[in-house]
Amino acid sequence: MALTETAFAKINLALHVRKRREDGYHELETLFAFVDAGDRLTASPAAEDTLRTIGEFASALTDPFDNIVMRALGSFPRSDGLDVALEKNLPVAAGLGGGSADAGAIFRMVERAHGLPDDWRARAAKLGADVPACVESRTCIGRGTGTDLDAADDSLANMPVLLVNPRIPLATGPVFKSWDGVDRGALPEGDARTIALEGRNDLEAPAISLVPEIADVLAVLRGTEPFLARMSGSGATCFALYETHSARDEVAARIAADHPDWWQLKGKLR
């Protein structure tokens, strides 16, 4: 029997970079949220694990044998395999945790089929800092490298969201390398709405220095009177939250007409 999961797009409603660690990683404080849309994975029983990629951004995954989906499948000892079809709807290197979300979907498939071991969070963290959050795909606060998670309230649940990307991939490493190293303070306290509004993304400026088109996307989104518009993660995807679906849809239609070369995705927060 086939299993199907959505790899929900991850966005960072706020992302505070506190310091560079001795291990080369950075100490972070972030408010994770997830959109009710993303990549789509379908898995069927097979003699061994296999992966097929389809969809708009499938060609960006140049080495399917090193794909994080295959590594996620290898995180669990199993007697059977899975033939996985990955419909890649999210752009790659886009600040949406696409690969981490795909891995998170695999973990949820394994949970449905076999259950997860008690140490699943440690197994997920070995695949990437965003993966533990992506397994649960719920609004939460991440600390450390992003793997130390605390629950957040649902004050932003179901809020309409629009994702926009100028179709320029942006790797995480160069963005962190361009960060100026200034600690601008901790994540605000309060509910998710307060943290999102009063927070910031410390990677926005370094990302714009590498991909100036991000500033163009933000200028357009911030000119539409959203509840909040900000860059997600290390970019180049930006998001805008709206109080109503009609407001979001009007903006999406306008951007599609004015900037047909930009990628966009409509959804709502989970």
pLDDT in tens, the chain (270 residues): 899 999 999 999 999 999 888 887 899 999 999 999 999 999 999 999 999 999 999 999 877 657 899 999 999 988 889 999 999 999 999 999 999 999 999 999 999 988 999 999 999 999 999 999 999 999 999 999 999 999 999 999 999 999 999 999 999 999 999 999 999 999 999 999 999 999 999 999 999 999 999 999 999 999 999 999 999 999 999 999 999 999 999 999 999 999 999 999 999 999
Report the candidate in 47, 15, 19, 13 with the shortest Cα–Cα distance to residue 30. 15
> 142: alpha, beta or left, given left = phi > 0 and alpha = psi -120 to 50?
beta
- Find the angle CA(175)-CA(176)-CA(179) to the nearest 5 degrees: 90
Q: Which residues fall within 8 angstroms of residue 112, CB to CB, at 6 or more apart?
A: 3
CATH (one of 3.30.230.10, 3.10.450.50, 3.40.50.11540, 3.40.640.10) for 3-151: 3.30.230.10
SS3 state of residue 186 = coil
Active-site residues, by number, are 10, 130
Please state whether beta strands 3-20 and 26-46 pair in parallel, antiparallel, or not at all (unpaired).
antiparallel
State the pLDDT at residue 103: 98
Enter the tokens of residue 68: 């994080």
Domain parsing of the chain, residue ranges: 3-151, 160-268
Residue 57 in tokens? 């951004």
Residue 227's pLDDT is 98
Domain 160-268 belongs in CATH node 3.30.70.890: yes
2: exposed, middle or buried (Cβ count in 10 Å: 0-12, 13-18, 19+): exposed
- Asked if residues 159 and 34 have their Cβ atoms less than 8 Å apart, the reply is no
What residue type is assigned to position 18 of the chain?
R
By C-alpha distance, which of 54, 226, 75 is closest to 156?
A: 226
